[in-house]
Amino acid sequence: MSTTTITDDVISKVAKLSRIDIPAEKVNQFASQIEPILKHFESLSKVNTDGVVPTYQTTGLHTVLREDVIDTTRMFSQSQALSNSPKSSNGYFVTSATIKK
Amino acid sequence: MLTDKSITQLATGLRSGEFTSIDLVNECYDNIEKYNSQINSFVTIVPREVALKQAQEVGSKLKVEGSSLLVGIPYVLKDCFNTTGIKTTAASKVLGNYVAPYNATIYQKLIEAGAILIGKMNMDAWGHGGSTENTDFGVTKNPWDTTRVAGGSGGGPASAVAARMAVFAVGEDTGGSIRNPAGWTNTTGLKVTYGRVSRYGAIAYASSFDTVGPVAKSAEDCAVILETIAGVDKYDATSSPTPVPKYSKLLDKNLSEITIGIPKEFYGEGLDPEIKSSVLSVSTELEKAGAKIKEISMPLFDLCLPVYYLIAPSETSSNLARYDSVRYGLNRQNFTDETIRRILIGTYALSAGYYDAYYKKAQQVRTLFIEEYNKALSQCDILLQPIMPNNPPKFGELLSDPLQNLLADIYTVSQNPVGVPSLALPCGFSSSGLPIGAQIVGKMFSEELLLSIGNEFQKITNYHTQKPNL
């Protein structure tokens, strides 16, 4: 972590993973803004965390279960489910094609 | 003005017939007409006639023995809570036209209590920011000085309460989003213990940090709101089954039983001297009323920023992955640069080869922070901390440098990874007349203690009753 460099290629790769298209002329801007932020975070590497268990949540709750029953008060009608869709057809969501013929 | 009164005073007046809910609703809308064009607190204003219709119908509810103190009280929600029939945007054009098909649990509870929703409030989009400048709906201005920011991410709710455009608000705090704008607008806001209030129907920023809490004019009002919205929810598996006390009946505290910890690292370099002395004056006032003061040390303090700003973007990159514009919302090109930065940082921290060095490391240091807070709170009952290192900046000052923008959050980001509650209280004014706030932090589920100490402080000071001259 001690030699954090954020190149344009790193930004392009991470943007692709994030499904965000960043215009070519802005890639370098993001790289130059994010590099100092990640460099600032290098201070973490100085902390000895050998044997420290990571904390992912603070509720103290474990394996919260509910009865396996249908909650009709929380069901959407088809029209409710589709009500915010940018594009739907015959009661279905319409998506862009993901497979090329 | 009716809106200067406490919720308890309003509830009493509504029941005695001194004034009606219609009067109160009209006063809020009159203030909205006068002030909102100057400060832009609202994303959506519920039409006055819709609110008035509800106000006309509260009469029978008011007569019910033991009915909620919130019957007939007009309030606002940060625009991150789902409300059927009223759009919910998270201040992002991605959700610019989104109307949720279900209600957030806290909204449902407030409907059942009889409170009247009058608006959905501006914020930094998705909670990403501390100034309400990262919004697609125009910046919110500080009612104390309209050339300055109102804070964030909940600048809209806090400024609306400060300007008396609503009696109270409900906000969300992931790394200071309730406390920061409370401090900068002279309002009182509570970041609750993680799990104290249901997050169901709240638009997620960072799921393991997000908390829902009240924004109001006093600790006493926060107590009334919290006892209404808190509690376990079958729709939020992270909500806590810990019983909800009747906070508003537990507001008196013998301060001689209280030890206030002053963590010295929170008062070092970078803290404005006027803010430092105002925050420390809280301990002086409480000491005069009998409390004991103890200086303590929290040496990991500086590390809270990297912990927060690695975990929160990681969680937000995951949460915002759902916005694919298939079922709702516009496509991902509509995120702002600040949101894109956070998604990129989070995706980077979670990606193969960097996960251990960034994300996992931050979660390990988070464990050390929890131990640090446990240790600190074993030596005292509450910790007194500043909220913001500086007075509210002018527009653009924070946005121009993304790293500086993050550094300003240093005092408000250490609590959320730990889960502990924190009450933000007005504690003074700068020489230029800008409000200053302090926060008191307690153990998990110590809201009762924080609210009672806040209430005692507000009995002996009058900062919280001051309002802006708009």
CB contact under 8 A, A54 and B363: yes
The dihedral built from the CA positions of residue B421, B427, B432 and B434, taken in this order, carries a sign that is positive
Considering the domain boundaries, does residue A35 fall inside one? yes
CATH number for the domain harbouring residue A18: 1.10.20
Cβ burial, residue B331 (10 Å; 0-12/13-18/19+): middle
What is the distance between the alpha carbons of residues B332 and B324, in angstroms, rounded to a whole number?
7
Q: Which of residues 30-89 of A touch B (CB under 8 A)?
A: 30, 33-34, 36-38, 40-41, 43-45, 47, 49, 52-59, 61, 64, 66, 74, 76, 80-81, 83-86
Residues 6+ positions from A62 with CB-CB distance below 8 Å? none
d(CA B144, CA B14): 30
Kindly report the length of chain A.
101
H/E element, B213: strand B211-216
Burial class (CB in 10 A: 0-12, 13-18, 19+), B378: exposed
Q: Evaluate if pTM is beyond 0.95.
A: yes
10-residue stretch averages of pLDDT, chain B, 470 residues long: 98 98 98 98 98 96 95 98 98 98 98 98 98 98 98 98 98 98 98 98 98 98 98 97 98 97 96 97 98 98 96 98 96 96 97 94 98 98 98 90 88 98 98 98 98 98 97
B323 burial class (0-12, 13-18, 19+ CB within 10 angstroms)? Answer: buried
Q: In terms of residues, how long is chain B?
A: 470
For residue A54, what is the DSSP state?
A: P
**What is the distance between the alpha carbons of residues B129 and B124, in angstroms, rounded to a whole number?**
5
CB contact under 8 A, A80 and B305: no
Please check whether residue A100 lies inside any domain of the structure: no
**Are B328 and A85 a contacting pair, CB within 8 Å?**
yes
Residue B355 has what pLDDT? 95
Rounded to the nearest 10 degrees, the angle between the axes of helix B21-39 and helix B48-56 is 160
If you write DSSP's letter for every residue of chain A in order, what string do you get?
A: -TT----HHHHHHHHHHTT----HHHHHHHHHHHHHHHHHGGGGGGS--TTPPP----S---S----S---GGGPPPHHHHHTT-SSEETTEE-----S--
Residues of chain A with pLDDT under 50: 1
3-state secondary structure of B214: strand
Q: Where are the beta strands (DSSP E) in B258-375?
A: 259-263, 292-296
Domain contains A87: no
Chain B contact present for A25, CB below 8 A: no
Task: State the pairing for strand pair B211-216/B188-191.
Answer: antiparallel
Is residue B84 less than 8 Å (CB to CB) from chain A? no
- Classify B168 as helix, strand or coil: strand
In this structure, how many other beta carbons lie within 10 angstroms of the beta carbon of residue B183?
32
Angle between helix B21-39 and helix B7-16 axes, rounded to 10 deg: 140
Residue from A84, A96, A98 to probe the interface with B (highest B Cβ count within 10 Å): A84
pLDDT given at position A1: 47
A18 in a structural domain:
yes
Predicted local confidence at residue A101, as pLDDT:
72
Classify residue A83: in a domain, yes or no. no
Query: Which residues does chain B have within 8 Å of residue A8's beta carbon, measured at their own beta carbons?
Result: none
Tally the domains of chain A. Answer: 1
Interface touch A34/B344, C-beta < 8 Å:
yes
Closest by Cα among B26, B73, B247, B37 to B167: B73
Given CB atoms, is B364 within the 8 Å cutoff of chain A?
Answer: yes
Closest residue by Cα to residue B208 from B363, B329, B2: B363
Which residue ranges form the domains of chain B, and what is each CATH number? 2-465 (3.90.1300.10)
Choose among B146, B165, B186, B13: nearest CA to B76.
Answer: B165
Q: For chain B, how are helix, strand and coil distributed in percent, rounded to 5?
A: 45, 15, 40
Which string of b and e fits A80-94 if b means at least 16 CB within 10 Å?
Answer: ebbbbbeebeeeeee
Q: Name every residue whose Cβ is closer than 8 Å to that of residue B36 and which is 6 or more positions away in sequence.
A: B42, B45, B165
The C-alpha atoms of residue B409 and residue B64 are separated, in whole angstroms, by 45
The DSSP code sequence of B162-174 is HTTSSSEEEEEES
Q: Give the residue numbers spanning the domain of A16.
A: 1-47
Q: In 3D, which of A49, A30, A67 has the Cα closest to residue B368? A: A49
- Three-state secondary-structure class, residue B440: strand
> Does residue A76 form part of some domain?
no
The packing angle between helices B337-350 and A8-17, to 10°, is: 90
ipTM tops the 0.90 cut: yes
Token readout for B114 is: 């009889």
Burial-class residue B284 by CB neighbours within 10 Å (0-12, 13-18, 19+): exposed
SS3 state of residue A48: coil
The DSSP output letter for B357 is I
Nearest beta carbon to residue B306 from set A30, A43, A76? A43
- Integer-rounded Cα Rg, in Å, for chain A is 23
- Are B154 and B215 in contact by the 8 Å Cβ rule? The answer is yes
